[in-house]
Amino acid sequence: MRGVRLILKDHQWDRMAPHLPGKRMDPGGTAVDSRLFVEAVLWLARAGSPWRDLPDLFGNWNSAFVRFSRWSKSGVWDRLFAAMADEPDFEYVMIDSTIVRANQHAAGKKGG
Parse the chain into domains and list their residue ranges. Answer: 10-99
- Higher pLDDT: 21 or 39? It is 39
> DSSP of 35-57, one letter per residue?
HHHHHHHHHHHHHT--GGG--GG
Residue 111 gets the label, from left (phi > 0), alpha (psi -120 to 50) or beta, of left
Q: How far apart are CA 38 and CA 35, in angstroms?
A: 5
Query: How does pLDDT run across 51-100, given as a tens digit for each residue?
Result: 999 999 999 999 999 999 999 999 999 999 888 887 766 655 555 666 66
Q: How far apart are CA 99 and CA 85, in angstroms?
A: 23
pTM above 0.75, yes or no: no
Query: How does pLDDT run across 2-30, given as a tens digit for each residue?
Result: 567 788 888 888 988 888 887 666 555 55
Q: How far apart are CA 48 and CA 45, in angstroms?
A: 5
